[in-house]
Structure formats: C-alpha cells, structure tokens
C-alpha cells in the first residue's frame, strides 16, 4: 500500500484501519523477519528507538565463542570458528551496507561517545577565526557533554565556541550555518533527533558545511538501521552510531564509526592504540596506521559483543534491498499517525515530527513523538506498559513510539492507537 493509499484512510473508523492493516501484513514481503527476534511475552514492542529486540541467533553465537574459549583458550585468537584477532572484520561489510558506505570507511568498535571523542580529535580543527562547533537544539545529553568537554580540553571556552541551533530540523541548521559564515569549524548533529524524531537532510547539510570551508559529522544513533543513509555518496566527513537501538546488538552493544575515504592516509591528529596499527602483533615501537577507518581503533574487540551484533546484521543481510525495509518503516509510522487521528481528536495531542500529509516522509524515521494537551506522558506510558504496549517517555512530557520494520506489524500500530486513546480518556476524564 502506498503512502497515498494510507493517507486515504483518514477519517475512516479504526475498524476499517484494522482491516487494512491485516491486509498490509498479509502482503508484507518482510513479515518473516519478525520470526528472527525474541519478543518479551505478552508485549507489543514499540521501543526499538531505545533498545532493539534480541535476535534469536544471538545466544547461540555467544555460546559458540564461549565454547571456543573453553576448548582453545588463547589459541582462539587465531583458530576456531571466528578467530578473535580479526573478528571485527566479520561485521564491517554488512554495517557499511546499512549506512551507505565503503567497507574501508567503517570501523566497528567502542561505544558511541568514546568514538565521538576520538573523531573530534581529528575533525574539530579550530583556528584563530574559525572555531565554532554547531550542534542541534536539544541534542542528546551525551553529545553535548562530549563536545563541551572536548572544546574545553583544547583550552577554549565552550560558551564562545559552541553554537546551539535555535530550532530542530534541516532548515534551522542551514540558517545557523549561513549566519556563522567562515567562523564555522565543524557541524556535529544527530541524523535523527532523539526527542522529536525529526530526520535531517544529511546531504544538504554536508554541501553547505563544505561550501563554508567547514567539516561535518553526524551522530546516527537514531538513524542507523532506521532511515536510508548514503554516507559515502553524501560526502559526510565522519559519523558515529551505537549498535543497540535499531541495530539490535544488545544493551551496551558495540558502536561504529565512518570516516570518508578522502581522509584516509591524510596527516591528521589522532589518538593511537595498538589495534589501529598494522604491526600490532610485531610489538614494534613505531605506529603504522591501518588503512581506512580501522586506523582509529584502539584495543582488541570484545568478542561476545561483536557476535551479538553479527546476529542482527545477519537479519539485515537477508533483506535483498534495504530500500524496502525503510519504505516499510515509513509506511508503519504513517499508518500509526493516521490511526491516532482516527482514535483521538488532534487537539488533545501534538506530533512533534513532521506530518507526512504536508511534508516529505523522509523528514522522519520510524519514531513518532507525541506531546499531549495535558502533561500525562509518563502516566500514560505506565498504563500502556501494564497492558503490554512498550514505548518510552522523555522529558519534557514526550511519548516516543517506534514501530520497527524488522519486527513490528501494521496491525500492532493500529491496535496501539486504540489502546492509547482509551488510556488518555481514562487519565483525562474525557470522552474521545
């Protein structure tokens, strides 16, 4: 069903949407992927924007490495099913496909904020007249902490060198960039805004930053595995993302980096560790940088986290065309929006990310962020959880709902809309 066909359901009773959702599920060529995941009993899981579900293959993959450790000890580094010394390479090509990169441009390592610090060393290059680092309004706190502490570590004043955009979205960012002119050193923003779910036009921001002589990087924590990314073709300088949201690597799962290949082999500031050197096992004193993004690696990879990520990437690999996955993501979110309109008067809530009827669907990912006329998000989230519907609440009074195309169904989003309407009515004493 096309976006237009889903929008045509506006004004229909929820029962008609439920029937349309069942038809969509029956026709969905990706519906079998849900069988690859473990859903907590009794739950309708709409919280992949915070923590993705566990792939069924994860336990077996971790147990296989535990067995290797038990049987082989240190020899597992160079023998066994997945020799540990090179185990990070097992995820690189699949991860590169997810984010639209060349394999040489991707490294799988560390956590997101560690990676952000490492890449700021290389890509934040303040000079006398060009010192400003631009971030988005209401950036994820960890990003804000990272850039503030990094700027301060250079002996600079964060209050003078960090500019926070006045609003969320591509146009707001472009306006801030133009105002800064040649004072702009680096743009470092979220590809999908964690609170509102607004997706940025990465290509447009990259073109503008480069036109002003600045560099550009993205936190893709809420974008990787959620929206279509073309990091190489868009010319992004660098990016970082975690693996535990839409990429289903488990709590605290491994993160990744992207460094565009035009920067490979170029002299630049960088923190070194032995895993970033091609001579890591020769124990020589000279650092001989690995090719590509691997040069930013510090330490040997955590094997159990790596195979947990591999279990999820196996599912992505079974999708012949990732465009189909992201199209389903868009359709799920659009059906959710239409179902909410059918279930509740629009005056009792606000959708914080753009409405598809009046905006391009690429302006948001799988997440709808809702703010209610009365401050009930936390209370309604608790009530939804008691009925088996899992989403999450974030300050200030925002309910985030994320139907993930790998394992969510169209029927679930329509069902959610009806239950949400019931709980809002019960909390506010209104008749919807």
According to the model, what pLDDT value does residue 283 have?
80
According to the model, what pLDDT value does residue 1 have?
61
261-308 pLDDT, tens digit each: 999 999 999 999 999 998 888 887 789 999 999 999 999 999 999 999
Asked if 313 and 94 count as a contact pair (C-beta separation under 8 A), the reply is yes
Which architecture characterizes domain 3-30+321-428 according to CATH? Alpha-Beta Complex (3.90)
Mean per-residue pLDDT over the chain, rounded = 94
348-392 pLDDT, tens digit each: 899 998 655 444 555 788 999 999 988 899 999 999 999 999 999
Tell me how far apart the 2 most distant CA atoms of the chain are, in Å.
Answer: 74
- For the record, the structure tokens of 91 come out as 């995820």
For tokens 């447009």, name the residue.
204
Domain ranges of the chain: 3-30+321-428, 60-317
User: Starting at the edge strand that comes first in sequence, how are the strands of the sheet with 349-351 ordered?
Assistant: 349-351, 368-372, 398-401, 392-394
According to the model, what pLDDT value does residue 357 have?
47
The yes-or-no verdict on residue 431 having pLDDT over 80 is: no
Percent of the chain with pLDDT strictly greater than 70: 97
| SS3 assignment, position 350 | strand
The yes-or-no verdict on residue 347 having pLDDT over 90 is: no
Which of 1-8's residues contact partners 24+ apart within 8 Å by CB, and which partners? 1/27, 1/331, 3/330, 3/331, 3/334, 3/356, 3/361, 6/331, 6/334, 6/335, 6/338, 7/334, 7/338, 7/356, 7/357
Q: What is the mean pLDDT of residues 142-164?
A: 97
DSSP string, 124-141: ---BTTB-EEEE-TT--H
* Residue bearing the bigger pLDDT, 402 or 279: 402
* Reported confidence tier of residue 80, pLDDT bands at 50, 70, 90: confident
Which architecture characterizes domain 60-317 according to CATH? 3-Layer(aba) Sandwich (3.40)
Asked if 97 and 104 count as a contact pair (C-beta separation under 8 A), the reply is no
| SS3 assignment, position 215 | strand
- For the record, the structure tokens of 276 come out as 């970033």
Question: Counting runs of H as helices and runs of E as strands, what totals does the chain give?
Answer: 14, 15
Find all residues with CB under 8 Å of 204, minimum gap 6, and list them.
170, 174
């Amino acid at each position: 069903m096309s976006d237009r066909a889903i929008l045509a359901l506006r004004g229909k009773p929820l029962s008609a949407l439920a029937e349309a959702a069942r038809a969509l599920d029956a026709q969905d060529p990706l519906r079998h992927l849900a069988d690859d995941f473990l859903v907590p009993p009794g739950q309708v899981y709409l919280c992949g924007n915070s923590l993705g579900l566990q792939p069924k293959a994860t336990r077996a993959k971790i147990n296989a490495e535990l067995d290797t450790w038990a049987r082989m000890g240190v020899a597992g580094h160079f023998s066994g099913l997945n020799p540990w010394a090179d185990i990070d390479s097992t995820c690189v090509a699949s991860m590169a496909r997810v984010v639209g990169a060349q394999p040489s441009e991707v490294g799988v390592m560390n956590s997101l904020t560690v990676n952000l610090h490492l890449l700021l060393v290389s890509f934040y290059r303040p000079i006398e007249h060009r010192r400003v680092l631009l971030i988005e309004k209401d950036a994820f706190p960890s990003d804000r902490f990272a850039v503030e502490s990094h700027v301060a570590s250079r002996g600079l004043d964060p209050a003078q060198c960090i500019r926070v955009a006045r609003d969320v979205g591509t146009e707001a960012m472009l306006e801030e960039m133009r105002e800064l002119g040649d004072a702009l050193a680096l743009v470092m923003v979220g590809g999908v805004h964690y609170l509102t779910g607004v997706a940025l036009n990465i290509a447009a921001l990259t073109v503008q930053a480069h036109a002003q002589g600045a560099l550009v990087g993205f936190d893709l924590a809420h974008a990787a595995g959620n929206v279509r990314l073309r990091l190489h073709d868009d010319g992004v300088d660098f990016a970082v993302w975690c693996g535990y949201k839409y990429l289903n690597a488990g709590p605290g799962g491994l993160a990744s980096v992207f460094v565009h290949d035009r920067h490979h082999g170029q002299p630049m500031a960088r923190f070194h560790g032995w895993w970033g050197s091609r001579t890591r096992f020769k124990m020589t004193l000279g650092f001989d940088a690995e090719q590509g993004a691997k040069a930013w690696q510090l330490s040997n990879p955590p094997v159990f986290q790596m195979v947990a990520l591999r279990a999820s990437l196996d599912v992505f690999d079974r999708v012949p065309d990732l465009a189909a996955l992201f199209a389903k993501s868009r359709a799920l979110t659009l059906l959710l929006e239409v179902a909410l309109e059918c279930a509740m008067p629009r005056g009792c809530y606000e959708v914080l990310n753009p409405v598809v009827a009046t905006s391009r669907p690429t302006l948001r990912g799988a997440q709808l962020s809702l703010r209610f006329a009365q401050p009930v998000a936390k209370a309604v989230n608790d009530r939804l959880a008691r009925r088996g519907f899992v989403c999450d609440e974030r300050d200030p009074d925002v309910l985030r709902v994320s139907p993930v195309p790998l394992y969510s169904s169209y029927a679930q989003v329509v069902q959610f809309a009806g239950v949400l309407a019931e709980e809002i009515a019960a909390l506010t004493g209104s008749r919807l």
